């Protein structure tokens, strides 16, 4: 595989998972997994010269495309700030990837 193709395929990552942004929408997690986090920045505030998201909706979505969109939403929350939103998304994805110990 050529070096330029490797660069095009790599994504920015947060805590070891891919993070992709398009405008005010972010997808966090691996689309090959069972779940991915969908983050939508609803509001922002100016801090010096930067626009910082201060109101973020987080949804944990199933990647099963056979389900309707309403059925794909597993969890939903609203957080103050992008850090809090990514933090809860990371926790949800960790829990979704870890098998339950309830069977033992």
Instruction: Return the ∠ at Cα 29 (arms to 53 and 59), rounded to 5°.
Output: 55
Q: What is the pLDDT of residue 59?
A: 97
Residue 96 Cα to chain centre, angstroms: 13
Q: Identify the pLDDT of residue 90.
A: 96
What pLDDT is recorded for position 39?
Answer: 95
- Global confidence as pTM: 0.78
The one-digit pLDDT tens for each residue of the chain (104 residues) are 445 445 556 778 889 899 999 989 999 999 888 999 999 999 877 778 877 768 999 999 999 999 999 999 999 999 998 899 999 999 999 999 887 655 44
Separation in Å, CA 50 to CA 5, 12, 47, 85, 93: 32, 20, 5, 19, 29
């Amino acid at each position: 595989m050529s070096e330029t193709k490797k660069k095009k395929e790599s994504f920015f990552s947060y805590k070891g998972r891919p993070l992709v942004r398009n405008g005010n929408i972010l997808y966090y997690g691996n689309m090959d997994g069972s779940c991915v986090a969908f983050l939508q920045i609803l509001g922002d505030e100016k801090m010096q010269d930067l626009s910082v998201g201060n109101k973020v909706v987080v949804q944990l979505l199933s990647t099963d495309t056979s389900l309707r969109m309403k059925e794909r939403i597993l969890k939903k929350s609203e957080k103050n700030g992008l850090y809090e939103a990514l933090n809860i998304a990371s926790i949800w994805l960790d829990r979704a990837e870890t098998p339950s110990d309830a069977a033992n």
